[in-house]
Structure 1
Amino acid sequence: MTSTATTGDPTFDENRRAHLAAIAELDEQLDLVRQGGGERYAERHHKRGRLLVRERLELLLDRDTHFLELSSLAAWGSAFTVGASILTGIGVVSGVECVIIAHDPTVRGGAMNPFTLKKNLRALDIARINRLPVVYLVESGGADLPTQSDLFVDAGKIFQKLTQLSAEGIATIALVFGNSTAGGAYVPGMCDYAVFVDGQAKVFLGGPPLVKMATGEDADDESLGGARMHSEVSGVSDQFAVDEPDAIRIGRQIVADLGWRKLGPGPSLPADPPKYDAEELLGIMPADFRVPVDPRDILARIVDGSRFSEYKPRYGTSLVTGWASVHGFPIGVLANHRGVLFSDEAKKATEFILLANQSDTPLLFLQNTTGYMVGTAYEQGGIIKDGAKMINAVANSTVPHITINIGASFGAGNYGMSGRAYDPRLMFAWVGARLAVMGAAQLAGVLSIVGRQAAESSGRPFDEAADEQRRHEIEEQIENESHSFFTSARIYDDGVIDPRDTRSVLGVALSAIHSQRVEGRRGFGVFRM
């Protein structure tokens, strides 16, 4: 594949400057995530002889291996600390790719807020669907009580998902470094393996104050829920660790002893790098999502050897489909070209998805769409039934899907291009991406037209000045709510990424999804013809 993108012209330079500014904003937020509760609380944690959450992670992971952090911007823009007091991601432990879920005790004692819960549950879902063992690094003060009404009911899903993982033969391991109280005590209680750190682990349904209030008994932390008691008396702990490094050593040995084997095939194609520099993605991708981009120029900087075998290149040209590989893993690609999906594009996508399922090939969706085409001619031409074919194929496809929003993801185009509602195995957004029911100007314009028609039908005058004010406010609202930080904060994807990191992110994602079987569906439901 030969890239036709022009590099080094004024438009390229303008795009690059805009993306670098957005990436700087992303890096600023990620720095806040890495700081956790801040220097004061980190220092206090160290003085207690405890490791910080990322220090624990570094000891846990195999040296010089990847770690794909997930949902980093959870809680961004809310009253809670960005990152939501928990660290999640995919990393290699004793040669095994695992999902790691780690509380950050420097952020409100690792207390769980509503964003923490969503981030935690998403990580468990990723573990289950991709068949990845889970390693929990536990030190949490439990629920953030002022938000209990948004937590209590759904928090039970953490325990449900842990037991379901175990039932499916997916190992769960809890390394307990500190508090794991009340409902949190069920995390090590429901994991397959539990390791408690001496003098630090405190695991009980009710702490000393609650026991005193409920029963009148005077109890201390150690006899009620310490590591030695649980290792020697209750049996809740399987292994007694003398300190944090010892707990991590034991945890690594548990993973090593699993004898874990991937069920999917390994990479089978040459994994040579692209012929074009990923740095050029920043200039090629328009800063304004309304400006179309040829996805072949994007793919040329992502896929192995810039090789791309295109499917139906002259038909339904607003959607590019074809076969490629990333880090040796074969993939099928669906990438929006000029934004709008017409009937031909929908039918082309449907056929291609069926072929990928026939050949057990994972699918990569590169979203940059404003949705399906509207208008009298298109409605009469059957855009609804053709779009339904595509959505049917996406919904019932069983090969792994990975989705990346590189520009815009609006309307039903989000569904047809395997958005969050269609359960892609992993999903990411470029830093400049937008996600909404439609563009801000279009949405504000629609509401303006509806308001004008309502005024006319009721025979009252239409307030032009008020309408202009409303349009401005709505546009601003939708611009803010469609921003990649806003949507990622709500776990509508698994992370916002620098476009230059796309190939690396895909490599980790593809390796992870092949821990599970990769099997396509051979029979689909009824397609409206």
Structure 2
Amino acid sequence: MTVLPTRLDPSAPEYTANREAMLAKLDELAAEHAKALAGGGEKYTTRHHARGKLLARERIELLLDPDTPFLELSPLAAWGSDFAVGASLVVGIGTVEGTECLISANDPTVRGGASNPWTLKKGFRAHEIGYANRLPSIHLVESGGADLPSQKEIFIPGGAMFKHLTQSSAAGIPTIAVVFGNSTAGGAYVPGLCDHVIMVKERAKVFLGGPPLVKMATGEESDDESLGGAEMHARTSGLADYFATDEQDALRQARRVVARLNWRKAYADPGPAEPPKYDADELLGIVPPDLKTPFDPREVIARLVDASDFDEFKPLYGTSLTTGWATLHGYPVGILANAQGVLFSEESQKATQFIQLANQRDIPLLFLHNTTGYMVGREYEQGGIIRHGAAMINAVSNSTVPHLSVLLGASYGAGHYGMCGRAYDPRFLFAWPSAKSAVMGPQQLAGVLSIVARASALAKGQPYDDETDATLRTMVEQQIESESLPMFLSGRLYDDGIIDPRDTRTVLGLCLSAIHTTPYQGTKNAYGVFR
């Protein structure tokens, strides 16, 4: 084996400072996660329990196989918006009767589980993940439908949710709805379009229009149960396939449905794998709080991959990008990790070749981000940095092996694209609390705007106010800094969640397992023109 050595000194002052800074960020993250876990707050969770109902995460816990993990996705959706953190929806990947499933659960303690614009975005992202990885989906439904004051942002794009359900079914990916309460108006089409439907006695209410709307539209007098109750749908309309006596029974029946799916992974699980040689706790002290300070990504890799065994590719060429081969929880991976931040022509060419090799061998790729982007300047422009950077982006764009991305530090400019940022459709993308992402760093962006404004004033023959310039630069730096932070980006679903560095190996292992549910094959020659 090629075991990576470590030069990390946990007793060094730099390590201690890095660790303390990371722990402080994790405390901030925990406070925001607590908002999502709290749902609509104590008043509404108490009321929900008083009605004999389970909370969204309690339903998920009973659905899952005992003592198995649940990889929650986008828990901070809607952070920084006018809506509740979490967007009134819990989504993630968990194991039910030995089958990995995509699970979504409305949180009825948040405005009755009504969908807001961020709920849609979160649901759509969940569908992307489920569809790409061929994961059966289980929908734990209790929602009052659209958040009506936001209807202008929900109604038109929201119809895609129904399209997604039909596309999954058409692709042979099972869809299951378990209805615990309201599923009205457009929401009635969730059970209407799923392959399997379970409804809870005297709780489920599924109808296109409730009694008040029916009265206004037709003059007909009706009640919830005769119009859309679980027993009516089980006995009369045929919409319910299974009739549950209570919530626990509904979740038991959902597990039995999954058990009878005859669902098989495309690839067998690889079996036990030797853990890294180094302690995952040490990941807390690797990334400096000042991202201008470089760190060695091999120290991260050594604490992620099996047995810390890593065969580096082109170690002496393009040294600000580390590339190489490893296994992670038994799954083969090719790793690209930024070392010193900047991508030069050599790094771009090295990455392009490495990505092509991974596709030749059908090996998934893991991108570990810490880049300020591609190098600029006369020497580098004349040396072909645009051509070489474009080739790397071409290779990433047309690579067909699964991609995973983790933002460790900086992820700025076109380097974010070349390293398979959100727009390049990685199967999963996570961030550490230390991560930042934007078109460029705050100081650089503020400086560019200052130079442009100064040049404009000079061209017009006008004096330039240095005091105003200083104020503008400070404001711009503060704005870009706040918009670069992981919680801001996670709130907009530009990642699938911010993770504790110590959990990275586990999270990536769960993702790799999900990826291997469906067949994949690397592209061999299907690339565009390389200039």
TM-score tier (shorter): over 0.9
The Cα of 1:526 is off from its aligned counterpart by 3.0
Which residue in 2 is equivalent to 1:85? 88
Which residue in 2 is equivalent to 1:213? 216
Alignment of 1:221-240 (within 5 A): 221-240=224-243
The Cα of 1:6 is off from its aligned counterpart by 2.5
Tell me if the contact between 1:267 and 1:330 (Cα under 8 Å) persists in the aligned partners.
Answer: no
Which residue in 1 is equivalent to 2:474? 472
Which residue in 2 is equivalent to 1:125? 128
The Cα of 1:47 is off from its aligned counterpart by 1.2
Tell me if the contact between 2:93 and 2:102 (Cα under 8 Å) persists in the aligned partners.
Answer: yes
Alignment of 1:400-415 (within 5 A): 400-415=402-417
Which residue in 1 is equivalent to 2:148? 145
The one-letter code of the counterpart of 1:379 is E
Partner SS for 1:399: coil
Tell me if the contact between 2:334 and 2:358 (Cα under 8 Å) persists in the aligned partners.
Answer: yes
Which shows bigger deviation, 275-284 or 416-425? 275-284
Tell me if the contact between 2:394 and 2:530 (Cα under 8 Å) persists in the aligned partners.
Answer: no
TM-score, normalised with respect to structure 2 = 0.98
What are the Cα deviations for residues 272-329 of structure 1, in whole angstroms up to 9, with x where unaligned? 1111111111112111111111100111111111110000000011100000111111
Tell me if the contact between 2:287 and 2:434 (Cα under 8 Å) persists in the aligned partners.
Answer: no
Cα distance in 1, alignment partners of residues 154 and 453 from structure 2: 38
The Cα of 1:265 is off from its aligned counterpart by 4.6
Which residue in 1 is equivalent to 2:11? 8
| Alignment pair present for 1:20 and 2:23 | yes
Which residues of structure 1 form unaligned runs of 5+? none
| Alignment pair present for 1:357 and 2:364 | no
The Cα of 1:439 is off from its aligned counterpart by 0.5
Which residue in 2 is equivalent to 1:185? 188
What are the Cα deviations for residues 304-362 of structure 1, in whole angstroms up to 9, with x where unaligned? 11110000000011100000111111100000000000111011001000110111100
Which residue in 1 is equivalent to 2:34? 31
Cα distance in 1, alignment partners of residues 321 and 227 from structure 2: 62
Tell me if the contact between 2:79 and 2:487 (Cα under 8 Å) persists in the aligned partners.
Answer: yes
Partner SS for 2:49: helix
Q: Report how many aligned residue pairs link the two structures.
A: 528
Cα distance in 2, alignment partners of residues 525 and 62 from structure 1: 43
Tell me if the contact between 1:211 and 1:217 (Cα under 8 Å) persists in the aligned partners.
Answer: yes
Which residue in 2 is equivalent to 1:384? 386
The one-letter code of the counterpart of 1:100 is I
Which residue in 1 is equivalent to 2:48? 45
| Alignment pair present for 1:372 and 2:377 | no
Residue of structure 2 aligned with 1:347, choices 343, 346, 349: 349
The one-letter code of the counterpart of 1:479 is E
Tell me if the contact between 1:173 and 1:193 (Cα under 8 Å) persists in the aligned partners.
Answer: yes
The one-letter code of the counterpart of 1:447 is L
Cα distance in 1, alignment partners of residues 99 and 294 from structure 2: 41
Cα distance in 2, alignment partners of residues 405 and 191 from structure 1: 35
Which shows bigger deviation, 130-139 or 271-280? 271-280
Alignment of 1:79-478 (within 5 A): 79-267=82-270, 271-478=273-480
Residue of structure 1 aligned with 2:503, choices 501, 504, 520: 501
What are the Cα deviations for residues 388-425 of structure 1, in whole angstroms up to 9, with x where unaligned? 11011101111000000000110000100000001000
The one-letter code of the counterpart of 1:238 is D
Partner SS for 1:387: helix
Cα distance in 1, alignment partners of residues 270 and 406 from structure 2: 21
Tell me if the contact between 1:393 and 1:524 (Cα under 8 Å) persists in the aligned partners.
Answer: no
Cα RMSD for the two superposed structures: 0.9
Cα distance in 2, alignment partners of residues 307 and 502 from structure 1: 17
Tell me if the contact between 2:25 and 2:433 (Cα under 8 Å) persists in the aligned partners.
Answer: yes
Cα distance in 2, alignment partners of residues 457 and 152 from structure 1: 49
Partner SS for 1:203: strand
| Alignment pair present for 1:67 and 2:64 | no
Cα distance in 2, alignment partners of residues 482 and 200 from structure 1: 44
Tell me if the contact between 1:196 and 1:239 (Cα under 8 Å) persists in the aligned partners.
Answer: yes
Tell me if the contact between 2:142 and 2:183 (Cα under 8 Å) persists in the aligned partners.
Answer: yes
The Cα of 1:507 is off from its aligned counterpart by 0.8
Partner SS for 2:494: coil
The Cα of 1:528 is off from its aligned counterpart by 2.6
The Cα of 1:264 is off from its aligned counterpart by 3.1
What are the Cα deviations for residues 6-59 of structure 1, in whole angstroms up to 9, with x where unaligned? 321111111111000000111111122111111111111111111111111111
Cα distance in 1, alignment partners of residues 102 and 29 from structure 2: 23
The one-letter code of the counterpart of 1:409 is S
Tell me if the contact between 1:198 and 1:226 (Cα under 8 Å) persists in the aligned partners.
Answer: yes
Which residues of structure 2 form unaligned runs of 5+? none
The one-letter code of the counterpart of 2:487 is F
Cα distance in 2, alignment partners of residues 282 and 208 from structure 1: 56
The one-letter code of the counterpart of 1:467 is D
Cα distance in 1, alignment partners of residues 160 and 469 from structure 2: 45
Tell me if the contact between 1:273 and 1:303 (Cα under 8 Å) persists in the aligned partners.
Answer: yes
Tell me if the contact between 1:398 and 1:519 (Cα under 8 Å) persists in the aligned partners.
Answer: yes
Tell me if the contact between 2:327 and 2:333 (Cα under 8 Å) persists in the aligned partners.
Answer: yes
Partner SS for 1:497: coil
Cα distance in 1, alignment partners of residues 153 and 8 from structure 2: 48
Cα distance in 1, alignment partners of residues 293 and 234 from structure 2: 62
Cα distance in 2, alignment partners of residues 157 and 475 from structure 1: 38
Tell me if the contact between 1:264 and 1:518 (Cα under 8 Å) persists in the aligned partners.
Answer: no
